Copies of this chain bind each other. A is one copy, B any other.
């Protein structure tokens, strides 16, 4: 089964209100509680596609137990390593205009806890067809944590999909994950930051763009295209020995592999909720990596699943009708 790793999951709380007024008290009429985190969304989408999947990562405290319970209720198989710190909450207060977010800091992971996770990871990936490393690193995990996990997976012969941002992305790329899936803004930031540095030695403290929500993807078929000045194939190839798939909203997906380049644009725009669309793309990529799907078909499937996620109101889910519709239309290769 595909293994998805979420080292910094969250309990995502959504509070719909009429209008946010600072320094007033607001009665929330209903609360949405979701297990949050990019790797959990990838696992959810794969589970909904009927693909065998196992979610792992770190969970701690009562909030961590709550996240595990929510995931169980959705039927997503999981095997987390407990930590003493408390799993974070994210609170999204949504009024008629937009969302206002509050992100808790999450636990500080000890060296012993990280070692336990690395051991657990080593056992879980035995025989796994693909492992997906997703989202931000909690405090305490070494900044090259994803590079370490990527090396372990490579030794075990397991292909790796990496989906993160900032310094975790910069360091992870150096280990040459099979496929790395940044969005265009994240990758452009990284390229401009490392312009003067050797690609194999990204400086610590690299300035980086954070996704708009640490627990979900932000790139989607509904987003405007980000200017990609400097995002040349050569520059991207200099970052890693693996392939890079760049998600770029309505501009679609671009795959820059060690020896070729592919591009796929959605056949039509989709409006909706872009949160989690990047995670749906990652799920499609992980499945295609498992199946050895050729790049053009793989990108077309990822475009379709990303668009179907935009059409779904919550992250980690997708609209099956839109997905089938897009699969029949096919992506537009460039």
Show the binding face of A for B, using Cβ within 8 Å.
13, 15, 17, 20-31, 62-63, 65-66, 69, 86, 89, 91, 93, 95, 97-105, 212-213
Tell me the smallest distance from the CB of A243 to a CB of chain B, in Å.
31
Please state if A102 and B23 are interface contacts (CB–CB under 8 Å).
no
Please state if B102 and A91 are interface contacts (CB–CB under 8 Å).
yes
Please state if B103 and A213 are interface contacts (CB–CB under 8 Å).
no
Which residues of chain B come closer than 8 Å to A23, judged between CB atoms? Answer: 20, 97-100
Most buried by B among A28, A69, A99: A28
Tell me the smallest distance from the CB of A29 to a CB of chain B, in Å.
6
Which residues of chain B come closer than 8 Å to A24, judged between CB atoms? Answer: 100-101
Tell me the smallest distance from the CB of A107 to a CB of chain B, in Å.
11
Question: Which single residue of chain B is at the shortest CB-CB distance from A69?
Answer: B62
Which residues of chain B come closer than 8 Å to A93, judged between CB atoms? Answer: 102
With the chains together, A233 CA to B56 CA distance in Å?
65
Which residues of chain B come closer than 8 Å to A69, judged between CB atoms? Answer: 62
Please state if B25 and A103 are interface contacts (CB–CB under 8 Å).
yes
Question: Which single residue of chain B is at the shortest CB-CB distance from A61?
Answer: B66
Tell me the smallest distance from the CB of A61 to a CB of chain B, in Å.
9
Question: Which single residue of chain B is at the shortest CB-CB distance from A19?
Answer: B22
Which residues of chain B come closer than 8 Å to A13, judged between CB atoms? Answer: 89
Q: Which of B31, B63, B100, B101 contacts A105 (CB 8 A)?
A: B31
Which residues of chain B come closer than 8 Å to A25, judged between CB atoms? Answer: 100-103, 212-213
Which residues of chain B come closer than 8 Å to A28, judged between CB atoms? Answer: 102-105
Tell me the smallest distance from the CB of A80 to a CB of chain B, in Å.
16
Which residues of chain B come closer than 8 Å to A213, judged between CB atoms? Answer: 25
Which residues of chain B come closer than 8 Å to A95, judged between CB atoms? Answer: 22
With the chains together, A93 CA to B15 CA distance in Å?
14
Q: Which of B15, B62, B98, B103 contacts A102 (CB 8 A)?
A: B15
Question: Which single residue of chain B is at the shortest CB-CB distance from A30?
Answer: B105
With the chains together, A113 CA to B236 CA distance in Å?
61
Please state if A103 and B27 are interface contacts (CB–CB under 8 Å).
yes
Most buried by B among A22, A65, A105: A22
With the chains together, A103 CA to B98 CA distance in Å?
19
Which residues of chain B come closer than 8 Å to A101, judged between CB atoms? Answer: 24-26
A-B residue pairs, 10 tightest by C-beta: A25-B101, A23-B98, A62-B66, A20-B22, A31-B104, A26-B102, A28-B104, A22-B100, A27-B103, A15-B102
A-B contact pairs, 15 of them (CB 8 A): A13-B89, A15-B91, A15-B102, A20-B22, A21-B100, A22-B95, A22-B100, A24-B101, A25-B101, A26-B101, A27-B105, A28-B103, A31-B86, A31-B105, A62-B66
Question: Which single residue of chain B is at the shortest CB-CB distance from A212?
Answer: B25
